[in-house]
Each structure stands twice: as C-alpha cells, then as structure tokens.
Structure 1
C-alpha cells in the first residue's frame, strides 16, 4: 500500500553552520545544524526556524506556540510534551523521533513526514493537513479531533484508540494500520479504505451483530 501523492522534501543547503537555540536573532534561526543538546524551559511564541537540522536534541518543558517551521528536519529528537500548538509547518520531516504527548493542536501542516516516530497521546486536534504522511509510527490514543484533511496518509501505523471524531475520513487508507478500537464519526466514515478484518470492527461500532 502506498499513498497516491508525494511529499516534497525539505529544501536544505549542501552545508549547514553549527547553531544553537541561544543564537536566535529576532526570534529566527536559519541554515543551521543544532545537535546533541537539550533545550530546556523555554516559553516563546512566533519563533521561526528555516532550513534547520535538529539532531539528537531534547526539548524539555518547551512551549513554542505559533511557531513557523520551514524546510526543517528533526532526527532522533525528543519532543515529548512540547507545546507547538498553532504552528505552521511546511516541508518538514520528523525521523525516528519521540513525540509522546506532543501538542500540535491547531497547527497547519503541509508536505510533512512523520517516519518511525513514537507519538502516542500526541494532539493534532483542529489541525489543517495537506500532503502529510505518517509512516511506521505509533499513534496510540493520538487525537485528530475535528481536523481539516486534504491528502493525508497513514502507512503501517499503530492507531489503537486514536480519535478521529468530527474528522472526515473519505479517501484515507487505513488498511495497513493496526487498531482494535478507533473513535470516529460514522457519518464521516464513507469512502475510508479499510481491510476486511477492520471492516468487521466498524460494523460492530454500528451495533450490528455478525453471525457466522
């Protein structure tokens, strides 16, 4: 199973200068590599990161509301419980990251890739998704409440107990994903692609009993 659209990769320069969060100028950091460090206890808004590689960075007790991320890559970072609500995220990759409880509620994401990430209990509610892919991610109990979606893909993800209430699932293929329970709005389920085993679960959500 593959998605019918491609994600545009971040446009990174061939060389990046070593950078640090303390080097922000006018709340902006550009064309930098931030690695092997911890960013702790920062509460800022309207930050802008452009062409930045974050590698092995731990974000602890962080609130970066209304942040802009453009052409950025996060590799093996820990963003657990970080508050990135209402962020604008464009051409960004999260690879092998720990995203437990990450708050991206109200965020706008376009051409974003989440790959091999542990994102249980993450919050995406009221988000706007356009060309976004989750690949081989754990999204148990993740919240996608009342999202606007256009070209979103879930490939080989664990979606158990994820919440898609008030989010239209038309054209979304969940057949490669695993879950025993999913919260959805039945009136917005039409056109969602599922496996035959998953379909039985949705039939049970309707209160129907299946005879063998």
Structure 2
C-alpha cells in the first residue's frame, strides 16, 4: 500500500493552526561615537547643504533657523533648542536628542534613521512626508505634533503625552505605542496593520476605522468604545 504523506491527519488534510502575530522588532540603537567634537554656535549653525559628523551640541540655540539639505550623522544634541526652525530634505542618522525643544519646528521630505529622542518637547511640531526608521521617542511631550503622510519602520513611542497628535495618511505598520496619551489623536487614512498599543489612553480618537489590523491590550480597548460608536452612528445611552 502507498504510504500516507507526512504531516496529514487521518482525513489526509493538514490541520489548520492559527498564526500568532510576529513579535515586534526592537529599533536598532543609534551608533554615536564615544569621542565627540563640541559644536559651537554660530560657527556650527544650521545652513543649507551643511554636514555635521561626530559632534555634540550642548545648550545650543538653533531656533528659527531655515536649512535645506542639512546632514547630521553620529551626533548628540543635549538641551538644544530648535523651536520654530524649518528644514527640508534633512537627513539625521545615528543621532541622540535629549531634553531638546522641537516645539513648532517644521520639517518636510526628510529622514531620521537610528535615532533616539528623549525627554524632549515636540509640541506643535510638524514632520510631514518624512521617513522614520529605527527611531524611539521616549518620555516626550508631543501634543498637537504632526506626522502627516510620513512613513515609520521599527519605531516606538514610549511614555509620550500626545493629545491631538496628527498621523493622517501616515504608514504606521508595526509601530509600537507604549504608555502614551493619544487622546483626540488623528489617524484618518493611516496604514496601521500590526501596530501595537499597550497601556495607552485612546479617548476621542479620530479616524478610528483606520485602526484595522492593530494589536491592542484589552484594558486599552475600553477607550475606543465611544470613538467606534460615533464612527458607526451608534448612540450610547445611560
């Protein structure tokens, strides 16, 4: 008699198994050299088509600057102010920003790769049509921050206050939001398959139907009830 193919049950068909979601991949840490050259303003200012390598900006005031084609790599920025600055076609790679002020900063068509932004103020900043890869935002104030039409890969938002943040039409597939306040955040048109929410506040979310395919903790789901009901025309009565 012919042998039965391996891996089949008595009915000759392979038993179906549910596939568990893939484990999230941690962002690659920035590679910042141990020895950095102190940067001094105005000698080291933000100008068009300027490149900085292995530099440390400490307590620098770079607010209200305008730069096109800026290239920053292998640098550390501490207590540095970018409030009101505007950048286009900027490249930031292997960088660490700590306790920086990026409020009302405007950035377009730029990239951030292998970066960590921690304990910084991002209120009202706008990074639109940008690319973020292997980036961690940790302990930041980011209310009204905008990331419209931006793409994220291996990115994490952790312990961030982000009420009314705008992710309209952003690619957030696989992004992790951990311990974040996203009250009133905008997700309309976003791609979010595989994005994860853990211990987040998700009240009054806009564009809630774009959350198709996300992974969420059961205790966080309660905050989505009213947003989902509103999107579906459901009236909730006491």
TM value normalised by structure 2:
0.81
Q: Deviations over 1:9-47 (max 9, x none)?
A: 000111111013533695011101000121133111110
Mark the CA change 1:203 to 1:43 in structure 2 (over 3 Å): closer, same or farther.
closer
What residue in structure 1 maps to residue 44 of structure 2?
Answer: 23
TM value normalised by structure 1:
0.91
Distance 1:97 1:112 in 2: 14
Question: Which structure would you say has the larger RCO, counting Cα contacts within 8 Å and 6 or more residues apart?
Answer: 1
Does the aligned pair in 1 maintain the 2:146–2:166 contact within 8 Å? yes
Structure 1 ranges of 4+ moved more than 4 A:
209-212
Unaligned stretches of 5+ in structure 1?
none
**What RMSD over aligned residues (CA atoms) do the two structures have, in Å?**
2.0
Residue 86 of structure 1 and its aligned partner are, at CA, apart by 1.6
The residue correspondences of 1:1-212 to structure 2 (distance < 5 A) are 4-21=24-41, 22-23=43-44, 27-184=50-207, 186=209, 188-194=210-216, 195=218, 196-205=221-230, 206-209=232-235
Does the aligned pair in 1 maintain the 2:204–2:224 contact within 8 Å? no
Residue 209 of structure 1 and its aligned partner are, at CA, apart by 4.5
Number of aligned positions between the proteins: 209
Higher-Rg member (1/2): 2
Greater Cα shift, 190-199 or 62-71: 190-199
Mark the CA change 1:101 to 1:210 in structure 2 (over 3 Å): closer, same or farther.
closer
Distance 2:63 2:175 in 1: 32
3-state secondary structure, aligned to 1:52: strand
Residue 185 of structure 1 and its aligned partner are, at CA, apart by 5.1
Does the aligned pair in 1 maintain the 2:173–2:193 contact within 8 Å? no
